[in-house]
């Protein structure tokens, strides 16, 4: 089977690509390197010469000549669309950049796929589409009320895919990720803490590496177990496994379907810090700060639909996530930048 992976140099697309190559799939990867790492591509090309092909291109460029040319000669069975900008904060400051990079590029991709008769698409969506839900855990049919531009672009893409599936041109599975953390079991692909990330785990790692003196905990007065934000953190290996289940599922599936990929357990900021300290034996100095604009109190999944229809459930726990996130950086200190 041949899979097209967009965003194949990034944390999630790269981890999926690595695991797909290990499992014997052929992968055509595309990335613009806006956020992706060149080292990931170098590693795939060196180790999977026969089964990996890379295209450096920006999908929001309507010409996308390299991809079009490639798809003229090669038959793709499934497209896994991971490419996209993903910072909530940045999306509020640069909304048009997010609409161009996330939405425009998907319109372009779908046109190219349609012209090449590729009809199976798996899309990296996000729990951010639910916004600030009053009810937890969150089911797929809850209201869609994004509170950031980033979230709005994910909703728009989901709608575009749903509409396209009605036209019978595409069969689509959207995977709504909760909070992916940790590193692939072989520690070759990981999330870099060096590019001033906004997310909690790479910020914790920055303190562990002494790049930052203290972690700021954004808000201690939320209506949660200990006043700090509660999220559903999911190990990247489990998240990636969910994609392989979706690849299986979509083979005989027709239409549009959406699944939550989360563990169903919520963890507070204080709990993840304590776990990281205990598992890795490193103190994470922290201080309390104001709430971060746009943040919500809690967000965690009801993953039973994915359990039942995909036969998928998360296997790894918070200790695994904290241990693997740190181990990958420790193992790759020279390359991680």
**Active site residues per annotation:** 150
Cα–Cα distance between 122 and 243 in angstroms, integer?
A: 8
Cα–Cα distance between 77 and 81 in angstroms, integer?
A: 13
> In sequence order, what E strands does the chain have?
2-6, 26-31, 52-56, 78-81, 120-126, 171-177, 179-181, 215-218, 230-231, 233-235, 256-261, 267-268, 286-289, 298-299
In whole angstroms, the minimum distance from the beta carbon of 337 to ligand UFG comes to: 20
Q: What six digits make up the tokens of 174? A: 């959207």
284 binds ligand UFG (CB under 6 A): no
Choose which of 66, 292, 305, 327 interacts with ligand UFG (CB under 6 A): 292
Cα–Cα distance between 319 and 267 in angstroms, integer?
A: 12
142 binds ligand UFG (CB under 6 A): no
DSSP 139: P
Q: Which residue has the tokens 């999908």?
A: 59
In the complex with ligand UFG, which residue's Cβ is closer, 32 or 128?
A: 128
On whether the CB atoms of residues 155 and 144 are closer than 8 A, the answer is yes
Choose which of 85, 269, 284, 310 interacts with ligand UFG (CB under 6 A): 269
CB atoms within 10 A of CB 46: 9
In the complex with ligand UFG, which residue's Cβ is closer, 126 or 152?
A: 126
Restricted to residues 298-327, the positions that interact with ligand UFG (CB under 6 A) are: 299
Q: Which residue has the closest beta carbon to ligand UFG?
A: 229
In the complex with ligand UFG, which residue's Cβ is closer, 216 or 313?
A: 216
In the complex with ligand UFG, which residue's Cβ is closer, 231 or 316?
A: 231
Cα–Cα distance between 180 and 332 in angstroms, integer?
A: 20
Cα–Cα distance between 264 and 230 in angstroms, integer?
A: 12
Binding mask 190-229 toward ligand UFG (x if CB under 6 A, else -) reads: --------xxx--x-----------xxxx----------x
Lay out the sheet containing 52-56: strands in order across.
52-56, 26-31, 2-6, 78-81, 120-126, 171-177, 256-261
In whole angstroms, the minimum distance from the beta carbon of 188 to ligand UFG comes to: 23
Q: Which residue has the tokens 């790759």?
A: 332
Cα–Cα distance between 222 and 293 in angstroms, integer?
A: 13
DSSP string, 271-284: HHHHHHHHHHT---
Restricted to residues 88-107, the positions that interact with ligand UFG (CB under 6 A) are: 88
In whole angstroms, the minimum distance from the beta carbon of 314 to ligand UFG comes to: 15
Candidates 48-56, 125-133, 166-174, 322-330: pick the segment binding ligand UFG (CB under 6 A). Answer: 125-133
Cα–Cα distance between 322 and 225 in angstroms, integer?
A: 20
Choose which of 101, 116, 126, 149 interacts with ligand UFG (CB under 6 A): 126
7 binds ligand UFG (CB under 6 A): no
In whole angstroms, the minimum distance from the beta carbon of 164 to ligand UFG comes to: 23
85 binds ligand UFG (CB under 6 A): no
In whole angstroms, the minimum distance from the beta carbon of 88 to ligand UFG comes to: 5
Cα–Cα distance between 197 and 217 in angstroms, integer?
A: 15
83 binds ligand UFG (CB under 6 A): no
136 binds ligand UFG (CB under 6 A): no
Binding mask 157-186 toward ligand UFG (x if CB under 6 A, else -) reads: ---------------------xx-------
Under the rule (CB under 6 A), what is the footprint of ligand UFG? Answer: 86, 88, 126-128, 178-179, 198-200, 203, 215-218, 229, 231, 269, 292, 295, 299
């Amino acid at each position: 089977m041949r899979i097209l992976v967009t965003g194949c140099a990034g944390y999630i697309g790269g981890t999926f690509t690595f695991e797909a190559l290990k499992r014997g799939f052929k992968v055509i990867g595309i990335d613009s390197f806006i956020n992706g790492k060149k080292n990931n591509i170098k590693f795939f090309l060196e180790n999977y010469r026969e089964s990996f092909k890379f295209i450096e291109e920006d999908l929001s460029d309507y010409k996308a000549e390299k991809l079009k040319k490639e798809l003229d000669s090669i038959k793709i069975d499934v497209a896994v669309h991971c490419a996209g900008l993903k910072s909530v904060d940045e999306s509020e400051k640069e909304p048009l950049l997010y609409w161009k990079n996330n939405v425009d590029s998907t319109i372009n991709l779908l046109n190219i796929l349609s012209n090449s008769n590729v009809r199976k698409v798996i899309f990296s969506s996000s729990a951010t589409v639910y916004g600030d839900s009053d009810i937890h855990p969150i089911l797929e049919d809850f209201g869609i009320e994004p509170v950031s531009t980033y979230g709005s672009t994910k909703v728009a893409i989901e709608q575009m895919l749903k509409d396209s599936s009605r036209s019978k041109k595409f069969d689509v599975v959207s995977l709504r990720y909760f909070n992916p953390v940790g590193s692939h079991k072989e520690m070759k692909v990981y999330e870099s803490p060096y590019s001033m990330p906004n997310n909690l785990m790479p910020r914790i790692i920055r303190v562990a590496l002494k790049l930052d003196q203290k972690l700021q905990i954004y808000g201690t007065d939320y209506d949660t177990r200990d006043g700090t934000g509660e999220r559903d953190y999911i190990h990247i290996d489990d998240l990636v496994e969910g994609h392989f289940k979706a690849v299986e599922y979509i083979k005989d599936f027709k239409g549009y379907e959406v699944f939550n990929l989360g563990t169903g357990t919520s963890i507070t900021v204080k709990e993840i810090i304590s776990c990281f300290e205990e598992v890795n034996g490193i103190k994470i100095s922290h201080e309390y700060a104001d709430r971060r604009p746009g943040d919500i109190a809690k967000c965690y999944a009801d993953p039973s639909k994915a359990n039942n229809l995909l036969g998928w459930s998360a296997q790894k726990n918070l200790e695994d996530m904290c241990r693997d996130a740190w181990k990958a950086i420790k193992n790759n200190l020279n390359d991680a930048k």
